[in-house]
Structure 1
Amino acid sequence: MEKIIFKKIFPEIILTLLVGVIVFVSSFLEPDSQGFFCNDRSLDRQLKQSTVSKYFLCLFYFVIPNTVIWYDYYICSYKSMITTCNQTIYFWLGSGLAHITVNIGKYCTGRLRPNFFQACKPNIKCLSKDQFIDEYICTNSDVSVAIESKKSFPSAHACLAFYSAIYTIGLVHKRKNNALLVILQFILFLSAWYTGLTRISDNMHHSTDVIAGSMIGVLFATVMMYNLKFFDESISSIST
């Protein structure tokens, strides 16, 4: 019985690892340079440090869902090992697919961030305020910051935050509902909402970038939970 079930999961493990490789490679894609108007005030915002750093984001939003998954198995004995493994695999698979979607968006659009002028420091001479610039070179000595200034759409922070929050909310929802779990679900949603808002207040993204990133995260989390439902049904049929 266990051999049959693990044979069903093994291809998904390989696929998830392959997706991880694609995520890694696509993260290094440099978008095409988009032009701008010299008087575009939406690109002249102050360059700030991120309130929610990339490292904290990954730690927080990767640890919480996996902790919930394995807590149910080790502490609550709420589900089987095979279900626990599959929920973990689907979490990583979904996050990888969502990340690839975001990277493709950044590469194809090359939308400039609100702090573009300070982050890129383009070598331009504007003859008039409404002059359109389509050829320039970033002079910022911090090359990584200059490159990131062209990757505004969509927001990866918002995508990961909402993906992890919705996925975890779905896992919690499978358990017997009570007021405490409802509060926990609200806190998870609120943390994702706060992360998205900080991307705007930190001048890292336009509001539409955050909206798009959030929608991508919610979509993939919903799709993964939908697929988990069918997996649980197939496991139940095998067990019987």
Structure 2
Amino acid sequence: MAVDRIIWKIILDFIILAGVGFALLAVTLWMEPYRRGYFLLDESLALPFKEQMISVAVLAGVGFAFIALTVLIVEIVRDRQGKGIGDKYIGDSAIPGWIWESYQTIGVFTFGAACQHFTSDLAKNVIGRLRPHFYDVCKPIPRADSKLNQLGYIVEYDCAADADPALIKDMRLSFPSAHASFAMYSAIFFVFYVQVKCKWRGSKLLRHAIQYAVFIGAWYVGLSRVVDHMHHWSDVAVGFAIGALYACVVFVYVLKPKSASSLPTTWVDPPETVTNTLPRAALAR
């Protein structure tokens, strides 16, 4: 029965991940963004188009590889230090504890990443906010005979004939920033994981310096989206909020690391041993 439970657990995990992945794929490939209008002479939409510094593929690859490598290294070290959960058994086959812990942590991280990305992409398509480079990409031509184009708000318009169809769809996906969301999700997940699982007695600040460096990396990713004219600052701010919220919920309520309650939340120096040098008779007086 134990073998069946473990196998079914793994199968169900992959089915759930596949379901969330399919939902994300469906939104990305088949959902059409809301066709939002624009105000004439809106300066926030008049920035030039630029090639982005950090692509989706690079960010996703680096983020997943970084978390997976961190988890593997930490779990192997903890196992060698005798802090692991011990071996798991499927029938007569033993699975090292660090492999099982790594599988669960990376799996939960992947599940949370897919959920936060689905949340961001769904909002992108429902809101349909125009990117800052809208004018440069679309070169909109308002329809003169439209009764909806009143008071300077253009609802019905056509893009220039030479506009790239892929960019035309992408220019409506500004809110929120999926780059900022995933970057902050990965950073906060890393900060929590290292805080719970890792302890360095050689330096009080080493762990926190690494956590800060990773957080700043996520902050830079979000700022680069504004610099690249891909998002408005509010898109990035909401993306950060989505990523941080999902990281907190997923780590605390889904992963629920077992060692979190056993580790001190602050640095505690070992108590000093006081040795009484006076004889017992002298203490009695």
Same fold by TM (over 0.5)?
Answer: yes
Residue 15 of structure 1: aligned partner: 16
Deviation, structure 1 residue 52: 1.6
Greater relative CO (CA pairs within 8 A, separation 6+): 1
Deviation, structure 1 residue 5: 4.4
How many angstroms apart in 2 are the aligned matches of 1:7 and 1:231? 21
Secondary structure of the 2:189 match is helix
Secondary structure of the 1:27 match is helix
Find out whether 1:162 has 2:180 as its counterpart. Answer: no
How many angstroms apart in 2 are the aligned matches of 1:61 and 1:206? 23
How many angstroms apart in 1 are the aligned matches of 2:5 and 2:153? 62
Going from structure 1 to structure 2, the CA distance change for 1:172 and 1:231 (only over 3 Å counts) comes to closer
How many angstroms apart in 2 are the aligned matches of 1:67 and 1:10? 24
Alignment match of 1:188 (pick from 177, 196, 214):
214
Partner amino acid for 2:238? Answer: A
Gaps of 5+ in 1: 234-240
Once the two structures are superposed, residues 127-179 of structure 1 have per-residue CA deviations (whole angstroms, 9 ceiling, x without a partner) of x9x62210122335321111111100000000010011111111111111542
Deviation, structure 1 residue 108: 1.0
Number of residue pairs aligned between Structure 1 and Structure 2: 232
Larger mean CA deviation between 131-140 and 204-213 belongs to 131-140
Query: If the length of structure 2 is used for normalisation, what is the TM-score?
Result: 0.75
* Higher helix proportion (structure 1 or 2): 1
Does the aligned pair in 1 maintain the 2:137–2:163 contact within 8 Å?
Answer: no
Deviation, structure 1 residue 6: 4.8
Deviation, structure 1 residue 25: 1.2
Find out whether 1:83 has 2:88 as its counterpart. Answer: no
- The structure that has the greater radius of gyration is 2
How many angstroms apart in 2 are the aligned matches of 1:170 and 1:181? 11
Matched-pair identity in %: 31
Residue 237 of structure 1: aligned partner: none
Deviation, structure 1 residue 125: 6.9
Once the two structures are superposed, residues 180-236 of structure 1 have per-residue CA deviations (whole angstroms, 9 ceiling, x without a partner) of 221110111000000111111111111110011111101111111112454638xxx
Larger mean CA deviation between 166-175 and 91-100 belongs to 166-175
Find out whether 1:52 has 2:54 as its counterpart. Answer: yes
Query: If the length of structure 1 is used for normalisation, what is the TM-score?
Result: 0.88
Partner amino acid for 2:152? Answer: Q
How many angstroms apart in 2 are the aligned matches of 1:110 and 1:143? 16
Once the two structures are superposed, residues 23-78 of structure 1 have per-residue CA deviations (whole angstroms, 9 ceiling, x without a partner) of 11111222121111111111001111112222221121111111111122345536
Does the aligned pair in 2 maintain the 1:32–1:107 contact within 8 Å?
Answer: yes
Does the aligned pair in 1 maintain the 2:40–2:153 contact within 8 Å?
Answer: yes
Runs in 1 of length 4+ with deviation above 6 angstroms?
none
Does the aligned pair in 2 maintain the 1:119–1:145 contact within 8 Å?
Answer: yes
Alignment of 1:224-239 (within 5 A): 224-228=250-254, 230=256, 232=258
Residue 158 of structure 2: aligned partner: 137
Going from structure 1 to structure 2, the CA distance change for 1:2 and 1:182 (only over 3 Å counts) comes to farther
Secondary structure of the 2:229 match is coil
Find out whether 1:66 has 2:68 as its counterpart. Answer: yes
Find out whether 1:204 has 2:230 as its counterpart. Answer: yes
Find out whether 1:40 has 2:63 as its counterpart. Answer: no
How many angstroms apart in 1 are the aligned matches of 2:143 and 2:189? 48
Residue 238 of structure 1: aligned partner: none
Secondary structure of the 1:72 match is helix
Find out whether 1:103 has 2:121 as its counterpart. Answer: yes
Partner amino acid for 1:168? Answer: F
Residue 31 of structure 1: aligned partner: 33
Does the aligned pair in 2 maintain the 1:9–1:86 contact within 8 Å?
Answer: no
Does the aligned pair in 2 maintain the 1:83–1:232 contact within 8 Å?
Answer: no
Going from structure 1 to structure 2, the CA distance change for 1:169 and 1:3 (only over 3 Å counts) comes to farther
Going from structure 1 to structure 2, the CA distance change for 1:183 and 1:231 (only over 3 Å counts) comes to closer
Does the aligned pair in 2 maintain the 1:43–1:115 contact within 8 Å?
Answer: yes
Gaps of 5+ in 2: 85-96, 260-285
